[in-house]
Structure 1
C-alpha cells in the first residue's frame, strides 16, 4: 500500500493554461460579482464572449449592411457556437471531476508520490496545440483561401471570422479541450501505472477503488462523442434537410470530409481504448503481484498446512482457510470495466458518431 498523506497534500487539477491567461484580463471580477448571471469559469466566460462577437457583433453588422444573416441562410450554423460553449463547459467539468475522482479513489493514500497527480493537463501540451491550431487556421485563411476570396464570398464579416474569431476565439478553447481529452485518456492512466497506485481491496464495489478513474475516462469520451455528433449534424444536415434547414450555397461534403471525420473518430476511440486498457492492465498486474506475494508467504512454510504431500483437502486446517479467504478477496476484485452495463455504454458510445455520420452521408 502507498504511504499515507494528510489532507494538505492532496493533489489537485489546477486550472487550464488558457483560463489562467484569461484571468489576467480581469474576467474573474465579472464572475465574482453579485450580478453575475451564472457561476462559471474563465473559459466559459471567454466562450460566451466569442459567441457574443459572432452573434451580436458580426451578425449585427450583416444586418445593418443589408446582408442576409448567416443563421437565416443555414440555421444549423448555430451548432458551431454551441459546440464552442459546450467545449468550455466540458473542460471545466472534467477538471472538477478529476479532483473528485482523486478524492473518491483516495489516491493520496494509495501512492508513494501523490504530488505526481498535481496538475491535470500539462501546460506544454495545451500550448503546442494552441500554437498549431492558430498557425493552421491563419495559413488556411491567408494562403489557401486568401483574403480577397473570403471577402468576395461573405464580405468583411467572413474575413473577421477567419482571421480573428476562429484562430483567437475558437482555437484556444477547442485546443484546451483536446489537451484535456488527451490527458484524461492517456496521461492519467500512465500516471497511475508509473506511480504504481495500489488497489483498494476494501472497495465495496469490488473494483479496487478505480471506478472513479474509469468513469472519468468514459465521461471525457462522451463529451467528445457529443462534439462529433454535433459536427456531423452541422456538416451534413443542411444538404439533406429541406425547408428552412436547406442550404445549397456550397457543395455537399465529399470524400475528403468523410475521411477526415473517420480519422478523427478512430483517433478519439483509440485514445479512449488506450486509457481503459492501461487502467485494466494496471489492475490485473496489481492483483497478480498480491497473489504472488501470498503464494511466496505460503511456500516459506514447509510444515502443515503448506506441505503439498501431506495436505488433506478433505479436512483443511484453519490456516489454509484464512489463506483462501485472502486469495478470494483479491481474485474477486474486478478490473474496470467489469460489468455488462459498463461495456454496453462504451460500445454504444463508440458506434454512435460513426453510425450517424454514415447515415447522414448516405442520405
Structure 2
C-alpha cells in the first residue's frame, strides 16, 4: 500500500495544486518507537486474553496460536495499520487542509482525484481481506470440527470492532474528499455566475437582457460545462458497488457462523 500511496500522490500532482510550503504535509512519518509501543500493547492484550479468557484445557492450543500471532501476523498487522491510517485519515485531512484545487479538465470527471479514490478502495479491499483471513483462522477449525480452542466473546468483539473501524475509515475518507470537491465545485460555479452577470446587461429580465461581451459569455459557458460535469466523489457507481460488497461480506459471514454455533 505504501507504493500505492506514492503513486496516488504522483497522479494527484499535489505540487501543481497547493503551495510549495504545504507539500511536506503529505509526507507520512511514523517513528519506530510508536510502532514498537503499539506492538507491545497488542502483545499484552493477546497474552491477557490467553490467560484470562481461555480455559485451562485449551491454553496449550491457544498458546501455540499465540506465538504464531506474536511473531508472524502481529508485525504485519501493525505495519498495515499505520499505513492504512495514513491513507484513510491523514491523507484526506491534509488534502482538505491544503485546499487542494480540482482539475476540472480531468477526462474521468473526478477533478483529478481518481487515483486517490482507487487508493482508498484498494486499501479497504486489503483491510476486508485481512478481516476474512482472521475469520478463517479463528472460526475455520470450528467449522471443520477440529478439536481445540473454541472462539468466544473476545474474538466476536474484536471482529465486530475491526469491521466497524473499517466502515468508519472508508466513510470518513470518502466524505472528507467529497466535502473538499463539493466546496471547490460550488466556489467555481459562483465565480462563473459572476462572469455571467458581467457579460449580460440586465440579466434578471430574460426579455430585455442584452449580451455585452459575447466572447466572455461563451468562455464562461465552456468552463461551466467542465465544472458541472465534475463529480463530487472520487468514485464511480461501480466502485461504490464494490465497496458496498466489501463492507457487508465480513459481517454477513460472522452473523452466519454465530447463528450456526
Picking from 108, 114, 119, the partner of 2:15 is 108
Q: Is residue 257 of structure 1 aligned with residue 155 of structure 2?
A: yes
Shift of residue 256 of structure 1? 4.5
Q: Which residue of 2 aligns with 1:240?
A: 143
Q: Is residue 197 of structure 1 aligned with residue 94 of structure 2?
A: no
Q: Which residue of 2 aligns with 1:354?
A: 251
| TM-score when normalising by structure 1 | 0.62
Picking from 171, 179, 183, the partner of 1:281 is 179
- Asked whether the 8 Å contact 2:202–2:210 carries over to 1, the reply is no
In the TM superposition, what are the counterparts of 1:79-90 in structure 2 within 5 Å?
A: none
CA distance in 2, matches of 1:347, 1:313: 52
CA spacing shift, 1:318–1:310, aligned 2, 3 Å: farther
Shift of residue 307 of structure 1? 2.5
CA spacing shift, 1:170–1:343, aligned 2, 3 Å: closer
CA spacing shift, 1:128–1:282, aligned 2, 3 Å: farther
| TM-score when normalising by structure 2 | 0.83
Q: Which runs of 5+ in 1 are unaligned?
A: 1-93
Post-superposition Cα deviations, 1:257-294, rounded to whole Å, max 9, x if no partner, equal 33332221111111111011111111111111212222
CA distance in 2, matches of 1:248, 1:150: 11
Q: Which residue of 2 aligns with 1:98?
A: 5
SS in 1 for 2:149: coil
Shift of residue 159 of structure 1? 5.8
Q: Is residue 291 of structure 1 aligned with residue 200 of structure 2?
A: no
CA distance in 2, matches of 1:110, 1:235: 46
- Asked whether the 8 Å contact 1:228–1:353 carries over to 2, the reply is yes
CA distance in 1, matches of 2:161, 2:58: 31
Q: Which runs of 5+ in 2 are unaligned?
A: none
CA distance in 1, matches of 2:204, 2:85: 54
Q: Is residue 325 of structure 1 aligned with residue 222 of structure 2?
A: yes
- Asked whether the 8 Å contact 2:116–2:234 carries over to 1, the reply is no
SS in 2 for 1:203: coil
CA distance in 2, matches of 1:134, 1:260: 14
CA distance in 1, matches of 2:190, 2:226: 14
CA distance in 1, matches of 2:195, 2:210: 21
Q: Which residue of 1 aligns with 2:231?
A: 334
- Asked whether the 8 Å contact 2:202–2:208 carries over to 1, the reply is no
Q: Is residue 344 of structure 1 aligned with residue 241 of structure 2?
A: yes
Shift of residue 205 of structure 1? 0.6
Bigger Cα Rg: 1
Shift of residue 339 of structure 1? 2.6
In the TM superposition, what are the counterparts of 1:54-65 in structure 2 within 5 Å?
A: none
Post-superposition Cα deviations, 1:174-220, rounded to whole Å, max 9, x if no partner, equal 11111111111111100100111111112111110101011111111
- Asked whether the 8 Å contact 1:199–1:208 carries over to 2, the reply is yes
Shift of residue 248 of structure 1? 2.1
Q: Is residue 122 of structure 1 aligned with residue 30 of structure 2?
A: yes
CA spacing shift, 1:128–1:183, aligned 2, 3 Å: farther
CA distance in 1, matches of 2:36, 2:191: 44
Shift of residue 111 of structure 1? 1.2
CA distance in 2, matches of 1:144, 1:105: 49
- Compare relative contact order (CA 8 Å, sep 6+) and give the higher one, 1 or 2: 2
Shift of residue 255 of structure 1? 4.6
